[in-house]
Amino acid sequence: MKKYGKISTLSSKKIMSKEKRFNLLVLITQISIVVIFLLLWEMLARFGVINTFIFSSPSLIAKTIKDLFLTGNLLSHLMTTFIETAIAFVLGIVLGLIVAIILYSWKFLAKVIDPFLTLINSLPKVALGPILIIWIGANTKSIIVMALLINLIVSIVTIYNGFLNIDANKIKLLKSFGATKGQILRKLIIPASYQTIVSSLKLNISMSLIGVIMGEFLVSKEGLGYLIMYGTQVFNLNLVMSGIFLLLIFSYILYKVISLLEKKLIKE
């Protein structure tokens, strides 16, 4: 028995080491792709193959970001976008969960609302920008509402579909024991959809960021969206590319934070 135990332990260690090596190889490959891309871009710019006025270059982007940092504008733009995204993200998840629970509990309302959810979800939200500015004003509130219009419907649909995919036999079993709708929802539906709810965080954070950037394009005087829009207006492509580069890093950090949170919550 001890031998079998040792063999299983050794095999599990081998599997774990293989997974670690595989993950490390993936990470190295990803970093290599980014480094090669940046080096190639820089070389093409330095040798005049591409026009730096139109395409910029990694060195010019680094200089622009450095200048933004030294003037004290960089942190201000980053914090503005972060706060707006965080507010939209939290509101989207909380409201999405509440509405999904209501729709699951009230089948008639779910049937009535379903086509409207589809219509609103398919509508280009940027088209509502001018209306939001008139109704709410050219301020942070309209940016958060714009982000909510994008992330809320996605959150509702994702969580609600997770509720619908629960095993019907388990629901029948609880009903046979006399469980009420509320008890089934609390004891089975929500716990069984836990992974779906947690996974929807990743989708919600990306949708929130998209909504915030779209809102900043329209009304903001600060933030990464404003930085990109302002650079376009003054034909400063270095500023535009710097804003896009910062946005890529910002979205990656948010994604990794949510991924770590997801792993922790699912483990628990």
pLDDT for the residue 59: 93
Residue 42 has pLDDT above 90, yes or no: yes
d(C-alpha 148, C-alpha 107), whole Å: 24
d(C-alpha 215, C-alpha 226), whole Å: 9
pLDDT band at 54 (very low <50, low <70, confident <90, very high): confident
User: Domain 57-267 sits in which CATH superfamily?
Assistant: MetI-like (1.10.3720.10)
pLDDT for the residue 81: 92
> Any idea where the domains of the chain sit in the sequence?
1-50, 57-267
**What predicted TM-score, i.e. pTM, was given to this entire model?**
0.82
Residue 16 has pLDDT above 70, yes or no: no
pLDDT for the residue 79: 92
> What is the per-residue pLDDT across 99-119, written as a single tens digit (0 to 9) for each?
999 998 888 888 898 888 888
pLDDT band at 43 (very low <50, low <70, confident <90, very high): very high
> Average of pLDDT values for 155-162?
88
Residue 44 has pLDDT above 80, yes or no: yes
pLDDT for the residue 35: 94
pLDDT for the residue 163: 86
Token pair, residue 164, equals: 């619908």
> What is the per-residue pLDDT across 193-246, written as a single tens digit (0 to 9) for each?
778 888 888 888 888 888 899 888 888 788 899 999 999 888 889 999 999 999
Contacts of 140 (CB under 8 A, 6+ apart): 84, 220
pLDDT band at 12 (very low <50, low <70, confident <90, very high): low
> Residue 156 phi/psi, 5° resolution?
-60, -50
What torsion, rounded to 10 degrees, do the Cα atoms 225, 229, 230, 236 define?
A: 120
Q: Following DSSP, what letter does each residue of the chain receive, concatenated?
A: -HHHHHHHHHHHHHHHHHHHHHHHHHHHHHHHHHHHHHHHHHHHHHTTSS-HHHH--HHHHHHHHHHHHHTTHHHHHHHHHHHHHHHHHHHHHHHHHHHHHHHHH-HHHHHHHHHHHHHHHHS-GGGGHHHHHHHH-SSHHHHHHHHHHHHHHHHHHHHHHHHHTS-HHHHHHHHHTT--HHHHIIIIIHHHTHHHHHHHHHHHHHHHHHHHHHHHHHT-SSSHHHHHHHHHHTT-HHHHHHHHHHHHHHHHHHHHHHHHHHHHHHH-
> What is the per-residue pLDDT across 219-234, written as a single tens digit (0 to 9) for each?
878 889 999 999 988 8
Residue 258 has pLDDT above 90, yes or no: no
Residue 9 has pLDDT above 80, yes or no: no
Residue tagged 């997801």 (tokens): 262
Residue 260 has pLDDT above 90, yes or no: no
Residue tagged 């504008």 (tokens): 73
Mean pLDDT of the residues in the chain: 85
Residue 1 has pLDDT above 60, yes or no: no
Q: Count of residues for the chain?
A: 268
